[in-house]
Structure 1
Amino acid sequence: MLCVITLKKNELKLLQFTDIHIGQTPFSEEDQKTFAMIDRTLSKSDADLIVITGDLIWSDGVIEPTKGLEALAEIFNKYPIPLAITYGNHDSEESLTRHDLHDLEKKLFHNLAVKTNQFLDPNQKECFTIEVKDKDEIVNVLYFIDSGANALIDYESYDWVSLEQIQWYDETFANYQTIKPTKDLLFLHIPLPEYQQAGDRIVDGKFWEMNPRISAPKLNTGLFSHLLKNNHLLGTFCGHDHDNNFEGIYLDQRLIYGNVTGYNCYGDLPRGYRVIYLKCDQMKTSIKTFE
């Protein structure tokens, strides 16, 4: 079932899960703990939308990595909460491709939010928007950009947002401007390089990653400059760095990490998720931990 996202009581409540990292079957004790905590959280939640910002699974060296996706889908399908997914660097490494992930998503997850403006760049990295409506009028737009996995020309670096994706973003933003200017959110997995500067201006959260403190791509293709020029985002959200969950501000742009969710991966931060409240032209957010 595809779900249209509409405001309730003039506000939208989102849960951001990130870096869940489900691994090999039979699932480890850490994975079982992750399943239980997500299930318990959703059973008590009144969220309007769930966003997963990548690394749902490990796929490198994992036999039948689709089993992890299937197990996650069983949990998320139990609750009638719309779901939006963008992928991370560990979701497609050996036996899975981005194309496979797109097909599996549609087959496995039953409550996907309606995507608009879908686009695939030459490497099958998906961009899309989700429209938030109030009485059939668009009041906010959620932008999703697949930031990729390993860099294709430097395997010691992470991928970067492609020029084609930036062009998609600019054109999509311009089209929405002809309808109605809105204040919006952006989600991706790998942090933009400018998260480094935002880390010097933290307003909330932890900055515990080391070597490097921000695992951004080496190549800066300039998406942040376009976000700055268009100046419509209430926040940009990523995952990827398990020991960062801060919100920082750089050139008046709010750059925000999700909170690592899965137990089957490195990191000292308590496991949990981020809650985001969106109300027309206002946004507030906070970390919630499982324990």
Structure 2
Amino acid sequence: MFNGPALLRLAFLGLVSAVPLERTHPVTYSHWYDDELALLELSLLDPYPALGKPRLTFKPDGTFKITVFSDLHFGENPWDDWGPQQDVNSLKLMNKILPDEKPDYAVINGDLITGENTFKENATTLIDQIVGPFNAAGVPFSTTHGNHDNQKNITHQEEILREQQVAPLSYTRLAPNGVGGQDGPGNYWVPIPAPALVLWFFDSRGGFTANATSTAVPDWVDESVTSWITEQTERMEEEWGPSEDRSALAFMHIPPHAIIKVQEGGIDSTKNPGLNADTLGKGSVQAASDEPFWEALTSKIKNLHAIISGHDHGNEWCARENNKNVVFCFNKHSGYGGYGREGWGYGVRNFIFSSPDPKVPVQSWIRLEDGETRAHVTLDSSYGR
């Protein structure tokens, strides 16, 4: 179907690989195109319109709002009444918050499914439930995947492929072959043209392999992602102009290793408002092996307003990492599955851009299921200093 140059151009995007399409992504992309001409007409740096997705833009008033869900943990204890009821509760939260907040875009930042609990024969059908509220609300969205999404009964790739089948407004993509390491295929970006904003999504992996011997999967963004970040940012500058002219946000489920020292340095409830109930340490952040990724993330992606993670359900603060001069924010635990404590509550983190101008500060806050808001911060150059 494709000649050599076409394959190489599309492989750069991550839409196909350098090996035959049928072997690599049999469900993901092959049915989205009628002929080679449609593929070759793709903008290398905004594939989504050609994939049948609406072009994402700031509103006429210059705003763009993102609502972030995290740690839904669907599929727990399917053998009793308690587990399915938690999924019902999580869906109720999602179906309340989406029409209330009316985001322009949404993110689910990892641990969609508790893969060690759910049954293998129907694990991917939980994705149908999870994306249902986004389909119903007509909200475009992306997902990252977490350590509980790589387990004996599910993998990141299986979840992504299912999402692409059942969610027309999903902007989630698979990384090109060779990017992401073992069981880490969810590395991609979503542009908000002019382009004014790039949303980056990284696969922090973790969990266990889905086979009979089930071994541990490394719990950090693989080093192969570093060269990919460099390649992608260089291409963006070639086609879009200086990176200083646009904003960025970065999402990954497990927090970078460097955030341990941020918490150890002190989280001030006034300067860094929000719940601070989980102490970071082994297992609650990426392993120190994430250093190459951390270096590429913080040096190559400019105007990075925040790096956002979930994983630690008891935290919801934002703070500045001073060595790299970047802001890190926790999500809010959204799902009734997974661990929690009385009084923590369930909700989302919102971000609102008031202008496409990357120099204009971004507002962020936690919104709980009952409508309460807290931990409002202005992410500007002085935040967290």
Same fold flag (TM > 0.5): yes
| One-letter amino acid matched to 2:331 | G
RMSD (Å) for aligned C-alpha atoms: 2.5
Q: Are the equivalent residues in 1 in contact too, given 2:247–2:304 (CA < 8 A)?
A: yes
Distance between the aligned counterparts of 1:213 and 1:261, measured in 2?
23
Q: Which moved more, 1:1-10 or 1:216-225?
A: 216-225
Aligned positions of 1:24-63 closer than 5 A: 24=76, 25=78, 28-63=84-119
For 1:205 and 1:277, the matched residues in 2 are separated by: 18
Which structure 2 residues correspond to residues 144-223 of structure 1 after superposition, within 5 A? 144-150=201-207, 159-178=219-238, 179-180=240-241, 181=243, 182-199=246-263, 200-202=265-267, 203-210=272-279, 212=281, 215-222=284-291, 223=293
Q: Which has the higher strand share?
A: 1
In the alignment, the residues of structure 1 paired with residue 352 and residue 158 of structure 2 have an alpha-carbon distance, to the nearest angstrom, of 32
Residue matched to 1:288: 367
Residue 234 of structure 1 corresponds to: 305
1:90 corresponds in structure 2 to: 148
Higher helix share: 2
CA spacing shift, 1:116–1:149, aligned 2, 3 Å: closer
Q: How does 1:92-111 map to 2 (within 5 A)?
A: 92-111=150-169
State yes or no: 1:273 paired with 2:348.
Answer: yes
**Paired AA for residue 238 in structure 1:** S
Aligned 8 A contact 1:17 1:272 in 2: yes
The SS at the match of 2:160 is helix
3-state SS in 2 of match to 1:6:
coil
Q: Distance in 2 between matches of 1:243 and 1:57?
A: 19
The TM-score, its normalising length taken from structure 1, stands at 0.89
What's the CA shift for 1:249? Answer: 0.6
Q: Which range moved further: 249-258 or 96-105?
A: 96-105
Cα shift at 1:92:
2.6
Unaligned runs of 5+ in 1: none
Q: What is the distance in 2 between the residues matched to 1:84 and 1:274?
A: 15
Comparing 46-55 with 170-179, greater Cα deviation is found at 170-179
Q: How far does residue 195 in structure 1 lie from its aligned partner after superposition?
A: 1.3
In 2, the alpha carbon distance for the partners of 1:61 and 1:30 equals 13
Taking a change above 3 Å as real, the CA distance of residues 29 and 117 of structure 1, as seen in their structure-2 partners, is closer
Deviation of 1:211 after TM superposition, in Å, equals 6.7
Specify the code of the residue in structure 2 equivalent to 1:102: I
**Are the aligned partners of 2:89 and 2:336 in contact in 1 as well (CA < 8 Å)?**
yes
Contact 2:111 2:149 (8 Å CA) reproduced: yes
In the alignment, the residues of structure 2 paired with residue 28 and residue 43 of structure 1 have an alpha-carbon distance, to the nearest angstrom, of 24
- Note closer, same or farther for the CA distance 1:3–1:149 as it changes in structure 2 (3 Å cut): farther
Whether contact under 8 Å (1:16, 1:273) holds in the other structure is yes
Deviates more, 1:170-179 or 1:6-15: 170-179
Q: Does the Cα contact within 8 Å between 1:2 and 1:114 map onto a contact in 2?
A: no
| 1:81 Cα deviation after fit | 0.9
Cα–Cα, structure 1 residues 248 and 211, in superposed 2: closer, same or farther, change >3 Å? Answer: closer
Deviation sequence 1:239-274 (CA, Å, 0-9, x none): 111111110111221011100001122122210000
> Whose RCO is larger (CA < 8 A, sep 6+)?
1
SS in structure 2 of the partner of residue 5 of structure 1? coil
Q: Which residue of 1 aligns with 2:185?
A: 125
Residue in 2 aligned with 1:19?
Answer: 71
Q: Establish whether residue 6 from structure 1 lines up as the match of residue 76 from structure 2.
A: no
- Using the alignment, how far apart are the partners of 2:142 and 2:86 within structure 1? 24
Structure-2 change in CA distance of 1:157 and 1:216 (3 Å) = farther
Aligned length in residues:
287
Q: Which residue of the other structure, out of 280, 290, 295, is the alignment partner of 1:225?
A: 295
Instruction: Give the Cα–Cα distance (whole angstroms) in 2 for the partners of residues 190 and 255 of structure 1.
Output: 12
The reply on whether 1:246 has 2:317 as its aligned counterpart is: yes
CA deviation profile, 1:65-108 (whole Å, cap 9, x unmatched): 22321211222210111011111111131122232122101112
Contact 1:59 1:94 in 2 (8 A): yes
Tell me if the contact between 2:160 and 2:173 (Cα under 8 Å) persists in the aligned partners: no
**How much has 1:56 moved relative to structure 2?**
0.9
- Give the conservation status (yes or no) of the 8 Å contact 1:214–1:241: no
Tell me the CA shift for residue 59 of structure 1.
1.1
Q: Match for residue 76 of structure 1?
A: 134
Paired with 1:204 and 1:249, the residues of 2 have a C-alpha distance of: 13
* Secondary structure at 1:196 match in 2: helix
Taking a change above 3 Å as real, the CA distance of residues 207 and 220 of structure 1, as seen in their structure-2 partners, is farther
Identity %: 21
